């Protein structure tokens, strides 16, 4: 396997968009290498597994789930983007940053002071409720879920290097289920028309092109807000956080 394919990208983004970002606390974590292409993909994944075991030993009582993504910097060095979800109260960001820096350095490049100082980054996930969630989703689409701009290349031969899987997850990822609704043919057309109008308003060619003749499609955004907006023109339906149900008499 060579990097992040379009199919892999689509599956990855659908997973991230299905997360209940307001339900549990989380941190974005970045793990980088100071050296260029240290070993092959087996070594990179081995380092990640080793570090993850340290994470589980240190924070296992609070660790809920973890998602990771392999990416390459312009200089050819691999790094990992991660999302770490917590149960209950999350670790203090500064304390977590210090632990991540020391533990990743011990696994990836022990004794390298430059790597210890700049080999990691930890950021608390915010903007997880209401209107600001759109900024979080835009970040996920642009930075965390972007298609691979750089690839691992052998500098002597120019050959693309194998990378293995480009992303994965473990644990109980906090997925959100908003609800289910059944629409008649006419209601389905009304729903698609509402999406088209939203596309015209935002300049999205994709939303503007969606047709009731399509077998299906995916829309990224705040699920609660989208349901309120896109199903608002359909009579006899009401929305509750538990799901959709016919309105009473």
The pTM of this model reads 0.75
Give the span between the Cα atoms of 196 and 219, in whole angstroms: 12
Beta-carbon neighbour count of residue 181 at 10 Å? 16
| β pairing state of 63-72 and 167-171 | antiparallel
Give the pLDDT band of residue 82 (cuts 50, 70, 90).
Answer: very high
pLDDT band at 150 (very low <50, low <70, confident <90, very high): very low
Confidence band for 34, pLDDT divided at 50, 70 and 90: confident
User: Residue 195 contacts by C-beta under 8 Å, 6 or more apart in sequence?
Assistant: 207, 210, 219, 230
- Residue 106, pLDDT > 60, answer yes
The structural domains of the chain, ordered by start, are 6-171 (3.30.70.100), 185-246 (no CATH)
- Predicted local confidence at residue 64, as pLDDT: 95
Q: How many CA atoms lie within 13 A of 147 on its CB side?
A: 4
Whether the pLDDT of residue 100 is over 90: the answer is yes
Q: Classify burial at 143, counting beta carbons within 10 Å of its beta carbon; exposed 0-12, middle 13-18, buried 19 or more.
A: exposed
pLDDT digits (tens, 9 = 90+) for 193-242: 999 998 898 888 999 999 999 988 888 777 767 777 787 777 756 555 55
Cβ-proximal residues to 207 (8 Å cutoff; 6+ apart), any chain: 195, 196, 198, 199, 219
H helical segments located in 91-132: 93-108, 113-118
Q: How far apart, in Å, are the Cα atoms of 107 and each of 47, 205, 235?
A: 6, 46, 59
pLDDT at residue 99 tops 60: yes
The encoded tokens of residue 54 equal 């340290």
Query: How much is the mean pLDDT over the chain?
Result: 79
Q: What is the rounded CA–CA span in Å between residue 137 and residue 145?
A: 10
* Confidence band, pLDDT 50/70/90 cuts, at residue 26: very high
Q: Which residue has the tokens 């990743």?
A: 104
| % residues pLDDT > 90 (the chain) | 29
Range with the lowest mean pLDDT among 93-107, 175-189, 196-210? 175-189
Average confidence (pLDDT) over 3-27 = 79
């Amino acid at each position: 396997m060579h990097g992040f394919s379009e199919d892999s990208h689509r599956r990855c983004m659908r997973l991230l968009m299905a997360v209940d970002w307001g339900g549990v606390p989380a941190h974005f974590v970045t793990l980088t290498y100071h050296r260029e292409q240290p070993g092959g993909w087996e070594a990179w994944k081995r380092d990640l597994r080793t570090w993850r075991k340290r994470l589980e030993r240190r924070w296992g009582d609070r660790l809920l789930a973890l998602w990771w993504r392999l990416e390459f910097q312009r200089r050819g060095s691999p790094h990992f983007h991660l999302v770490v979800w917590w149960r209950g109260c999350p670790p203090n960001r500064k304390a977590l940053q210090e632990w991540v820096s020391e533990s990743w350095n011990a696994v990836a490049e022990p004794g390298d002071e430059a790597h210890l100082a700049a080999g990691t980054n930890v950021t608390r996930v915010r903007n997880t409720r209401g209107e600001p969630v759109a900024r979080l989703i835009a970040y996920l689409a642009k930075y965390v879920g972007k298609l691979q701009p750089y690839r691992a290349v052998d500098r002597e031969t120019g050959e693309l290097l194998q990378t293995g899987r480009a992303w994965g997850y473990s644990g109980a990822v906090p997925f959100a289920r908003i609800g289910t609704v059944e629409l008649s043919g006419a209601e389905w057309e009304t729903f698609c028309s509402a999406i088209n109008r939203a596309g015209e308003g935002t300049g999205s060619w994709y939303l503007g092109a969606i047709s009731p003749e399509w077998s299906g499609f995916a829309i990224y955004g705040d699920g609660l807000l989208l349901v309120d907006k896109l199903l608002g023109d359909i009579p006899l339906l009401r929305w509750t956080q538990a799901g959709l149900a016919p309105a009473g008499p």
